[in-house]
Amino acid sequence: MGYPITLQLRERRVLVVGGGPVAHRRVCRVLADGARVTVVAPSLVPELADLVSAGVLEWRSENYHRSHLTSGERIWLVHTATGLPVVDRAVAGDAETAGIWCVRADSGAHSAAWSPAVADGAPDTAAEGLQVAVTGDRDPRRARAVRDAILAGLRFGALPVRRRRRPAASDSEMPTGSVVLVGGGPGDPRLLTLRGWTALMDADVVVTDRLGPRSVLDHLPADVEVIDVGKAPGRHRVTQDGINALLVEHARAGKRVVRLKGGDPFVLGRGGEEALVCREHGIRVEVVPGVSSAVAVPAAAGIPVTHRGVTSSVVVLSGHEGADATTALTAAPSDATIVLLMGVATISATVAQVLAAGRAPDTSVAFVESGWTPQQRTTVTTLEKAVWVAEHEGVRAPAVVVIGDVVGLRDRLGDLVGPGA
């Protein structure tokens, strides 16, 4: 094994001997690092010729001679990839004599230096600015395999790559924070999207609701600040204005803030309000959609909200105190499925509105409590009996109420939650 080190090649001269595909790969890498590249080769593959035509490298159309190393401007690094062992060996020997590090493409065992397999963190992700270099005891295929596994971990947020130190800002600049509104889905952490997970792994502050996949908070780094603003029926620990102020305060302090919500932020989740507040204060904001409980919870109970031959329409209503669904119900098709969120406490008023809109008293109703959790329970009744059943069966929030003929499909489908929920 060797001594690992990173070279700063920007504006430094690098010599590449050889004009084939391997030389092209080496040229692209050092060009990306800002090096000034000279290629020595009698001929070039088209890709290298295009780079010469674009003026991004110098080409000497001749066979290698040791004077290429010693004459003119100082050379900091040499890559030799001619495909001819005798030439590569000569280049490496001359570089050794001149005190220049040389990478031989044909023989790692006889090379003074060698190139690792490199994985760069993608921009605008938690891994931005991170570079991982892997050497495999001069076995490039082994190194690339490990590099690819690390790269997958970077993409999927499986590695602890959150910045502990932010890039230094000038005295006149405030650090730039951001807010990501993450929809956590109905509660099962396995339904959190990949982008939602990576945003959480990169957060400095997480502002979380009562619902959603709270178990993911156990996997956050120990120095992440978690602020619980969960709202329970009749008990609002923090007002919406207070939540908005928290997002702005921490983002202005240069923090990466994640607002973790149950379901989808833009489906009765006030995500639009929070995004507008961030925009008004000049804060960069991103939304990460989540699996909405309006669709996912009925599905878990074997109730598709639309079904061919039954209905192609669905109306999602809020059951919050004071919400009036009369207009939406009147405008909706008579066979539309009605999905009621946050509606257990106001079920009596909602049932009255649905009946007034013309739905038959014997229309099927399902209460699905604690969807996508081990405590999931489904109670099926009819519209005319819904209030009585909810009271006598002890239906409790969180619950999704489904009204419509699609409820009848549950008899054939049953629960559709996979193992582990």
Active-site pick, 94, 202, 204, 209? 209
Distance, in Å, from the CA atom of 382 to the CA atom of 285, rounded to the nearest integer, reads 43
Question: Average pLDDT for residues 16-40, to the nearest whole number?
Answer: 93
- Confidence grade of residue 7 (pLDDT, cut at 50, 70, 90): confident
pLDDT computed for residue 172 by the predictor? 47
Which pLDDT band holds residue 192 (cuts at 50, 70, 90)? very high
Catalytic residue chosen out of the listed positions 231, 385, 405, 415: 231
What residues contact 309, with CB distance under 8 A and at least 6 apart?
A: none
For residue 132, give Cα distances in angstroms to 122, 138, 144, 149, 233.
Answer: 12, 16, 11, 11, 48
Amino acid at site 158: A
* pTM across the whole model: 0.68
Class of domain 178-287: alpha beta
- Tell me if residue 231 is catalytic: yes
CA 92 to chain centre: 44
Among 230, 209, 204, 226, CA closest to 217: 226
* Domain 13-115, architecture per CATH: 3-Layer(aba) Sandwich (3.40)
Bridge partners (DSSP) of residue 227 are: 207
Sign of the dihedral defined by the CA atoms of residues 73, 79, 83, 84, in that order:
positive
pLDDT for the residue numbered 292:
94
* Whether 255 is catalytic: no
So what's the pLDDT on residue 171? 45
Whether the Cβ atoms of residue 299 and residue 323 lie closer than 8 Å to each other: no
pLDDT reading at 234 higher than 60: no
Report the alpha-carbon distance of residue 396 to residue 299 in Å, rounded: 19
CA 277 to chain centre: 23
Q: Is the pLDDT of residue 118 over 70?
A: yes
Residue 123: band (very low, low, confident or very high) from pLDDT cuts 50, 70, 90: confident
Which DSSP symbol is given to 116?
P
Q: What angle do CA 100, 102, 103 make, to 5 degrees?
A: 160
157 band by pLDDT with thresholds 50, 70 and 90: low
Question: Which CATH number is associated with domain 294-413?
Answer: 3.30.950.10
Cα 28 to Cα 34: distance, rounded to the nearest angstrom: 10
Residues 6 or more apart in contact with residue 297 via CB below 8 angstroms = 186, 368, 371, 372, 400
Mean pLDDT, the chain, whole residue set: 88
196 vs 11: CA distance, rounded Å: 39
The bridge status of strand 77-80 relative to strand 13-17 is parallel
Range 225-229 average pLDDT: 92
Question: CB of 397 within 8 A of CB of 231?
Answer: no
Whole-angstrom distance, CA of residue 251 vs CA of residue 177: 4
The yes-or-no verdict on residue 419 having pLDDT over 80 is no
DSSP 39-81: EE-SS--HHHHHHHHTTSSEEE-S---THHHHSSS---EEEE-
Q: What is the largest CA-CA distance in the chain?
A: 96
Q: Are 257 and 247 in contact (CB under 8 A)?
A: yes
